[in-house]
Amino acid sequence: MIGGRVIRRRAERAVAYVVLVALGVFGVAPFVYMVILSFKRRIDILVRVPPSLSFQWKTIASSYREVLYSQGMLEFVRNSIFVVGVSTLLALIIGTPAAYAFSRLPFRGKKNLGNTILSMRFMPPIAVAIPLFLMIKEIGLRDTYLGLILPYTAFSLPLIVWIMIGFFDEVPREIDDAAQVDGCTYFGLLWRVMLPIVRPGMVTAALFGAIFVWNEFLVALYVIDSRGLQTISLGAATLVSAEHPIDWNISAVVGVVTVVPMLLFSLLVQRYIVRGLTAGAVK
């Protein structure tokens, strides 16, 4: 009897490990496949199925050079890093004090105001993209970095406020009281006491604001005209849209180039990802 149960346990465990490995393999396969395609010539992809695992450096170099330099992807990456970096920073600077007020200070209409800000996170991009474009055009910022930074800050702001409220709420109120007894003002308290405590939260908030904006291309589609100012998602969108027939090796290179910066960045800040996703869900 007992022996039978042990065997059953072991068998179950073995099956579980097989499932685990299968999940891992299926999880990475699409990425590996994309990388392999990006290393091939256009003709190889069509002729050899599945693609062989022998690679020629010359082919790889020429496709990547084409995408990075001739198509301007490298410039797009730089543009994106600049635009996303500045707008995320702006949103953090504006959003963190607001989140602090939501978490700590009582004021009238707080609940409704909080819900309104949160609901902006759910806005369909198309509902604001056209007016934003017309506004940007009006103030003469069409086809400039600032013309993207201003709307993007507004896009990540609700998300950042919302995540930061969660992190401020986690800080015990005793800390406020102690600081206040020491004669700290609200601003001193926020700056000297709270910010150092919620710094990991700020990284998480920044990360999610940044991902959100990194992927945006609708507003960019309207605002940016010059190729030299395109962001990476806009560049990728124009290069690989399902609307046109495409070179599969080139589109795979575009995919790799678009994904790699994000993956590297998220590896660096991996431990913040789960915290950001679960902010508000699991308390």
Partner 1 sequence: MITGSLAARRSFVIGKLDHRGVAVLLLLGPCLLYLIAFAIYPLIYSLRLSLTDLRAADAAGHWIGLRNYGDLLRDQFFWNATKNSAIMVVSSVTVEVVVGVALAMFFNLHLRGSAIVRGILVLPMLITPIVVGVMWRSLLNPDWGLVNWAIVELGFEQPNWLGSVEMAMKTLILVDAWQWTPFVFVIVYARLQTLPHDVIEAAEIDGASRWGVFRHIILPLLMPAIAFAAVFRAVDAFRSFDLIFGLTYGGPARSTTTLAFFAFQNGFHFQNYGYAAAVAYMMLLILMIGTTVLLRYVQLRPGHAE
Binds partner 1 (CB under 8 A): choice among 8, 10, 11, 33: 33
Our finding on whether 95 is near partner 1 (CB under 8 A) is yes
- Residue with smaller CB distance to partner 1, 57 or 107: 107
- Give the CA radius of gyration of the chain: 24
Cα distance between residue 206 and residue 196, in whole Å: 15
- Residue position matching structure tokens 């602090």: 100
Binds partner 1 (CB under 8 A): choice among 7, 11, 61, 263: 263
Question: Cβ-count burial of 109 within 10 angstroms (0-12 exposed, 13-18 middle, 19+ buried)?
Answer: exposed
Cβ atoms within 10 Å of 127's Cβ, excluding its own = 9
Binding segment (CB under 8 A) for partner 1, from list 56-64, 68-76, 192-200, 209-217: 209-217
Window 233-262: residues binding partner 1 (CB under 8 A)? 233, 236-237, 240-243, 246, 248, 251-252, 254-255, 258-259, 262
Our finding on whether 43 is near partner 1 (CB under 8 A) is no
Binding segment (CB under 8 A) for partner 1, from list 52-60, 63-71, 184-192, 194-202: 184-192
Our finding on whether 2 is near partner 1 (CB under 8 A) is no
- Residue with smaller CB distance to partner 1, 69 or 191: 191
Token readout for 45 is 């992809």
Our finding on whether 279 is near partner 1 (CB under 8 A) is yes
For 149-170, give one letter per residue: b (16+ CB within 10 A) or e.
bbbbbbbbbbbbbbbbbbbbee
Amino acid at position 107, single letter: F
Window 128-157: residues binding partner 1 (CB under 8 A)? 128-132, 134-135, 150-151, 153-154, 157
Question: Cβ-count burial of 232 within 10 angstroms (0-12 exposed, 13-18 middle, 19+ buried)?
Answer: buried
Our finding on whether 100 is near partner 1 (CB under 8 A) is yes
CB of 137 to partner 1, least distance (A): 11
